[in-house]
Chains A and B, each alone.
Chain A
């Protein structure tokens, strides 16, 4: 089966840096995706790590360590608009095709 663990809540102030961790237990691992969801909105794709290491996209970076079954999303220069829920997800490949299994999400609250 698949299991992803991430903190339920994280708080930070504007301008700070925050790291959202995700640990996983999966039968077959191919990579780690991250999604952002603002309250009441649709999830939007942020990044995908298929290989170990750091992927940087503007203020957001994502890291993966397969040997530690661990990844994180790093948000820099936090802004109020970054207040949202963040989900890690792993692709699951089988005979029926490809699906994503999501963690339960981390709610980030950014204050001024």
Chain B
């Protein structure tokens, strides 16, 4: 089992460009999450999903959109990237809320 995978691992964008981050899990988990991690800020929840076709906003949703068209995939979109979105993005999945399995992260730089 691959667990949780994220694509791409690294990306550099220019301000205003768009991109999609892909998260895939092979554990048949219902819940999937997107977090961003900035120095000294811990992990902050962007959006999450409790099942195929459902999404919900987290703590810092502005500037991001998500979709969960298939149970195993959770996509995070940036429509118009800003330097403030430079961060490390982690995806996670879970059967229950307290125990989550994280992907390796995507390091995004917006110049």
CB within 8 Å of B: which residues of A? 8, 30-31, 33, 41-45, 48, 50, 87, 89, 91-93, 96-105
Interface contact B43-A42, CB-CB below 8 Å:
no
Q: Which residue of B is nearest A95, CB measured?
A: B56
Interface contact B43-A87, CB-CB below 8 Å:
yes
Interface contact A96-B56, CB-CB below 8 Å:
yes
Interface contact B98-A91, CB-CB below 8 Å:
yes
Within 8 A of A (CB), among B57-84: 57-59
For the complex of A and B, list the 8 residue pairs with the smallest distance between their C-beta atoms, beginning with the closest: A97-B50, A98-B97, A96-B56, A91-B97, A104-B42, A42-B102, A102-B43, A48-B98
Interface contact B41-A100, CB-CB below 8 Å:
no
Contacts of A41 in B (CB 8 A): 104-105
Interface contact A102-B98, CB-CB below 8 Å:
no
Instruction: Sort chain B's interface into a size bin.
Output: 20 to 34
Query: B97 → chain A, closest Cβ, in Å?
Result: 3
Give bound CA distance, A93 to B50, whole Å: 11
Query: B36 → chain A, closest Cβ, in Å?
Result: 11
Interface contact B45-A98, CB-CB below 8 Å:
no
Contacts of B59 in A (CB 8 A): 101
Within 8 A of A (CB), among B1-46: 31, 33, 35, 40-45
Contacts of A99 in B (CB 8 A): 33, 45, 48, 56, 58, 97
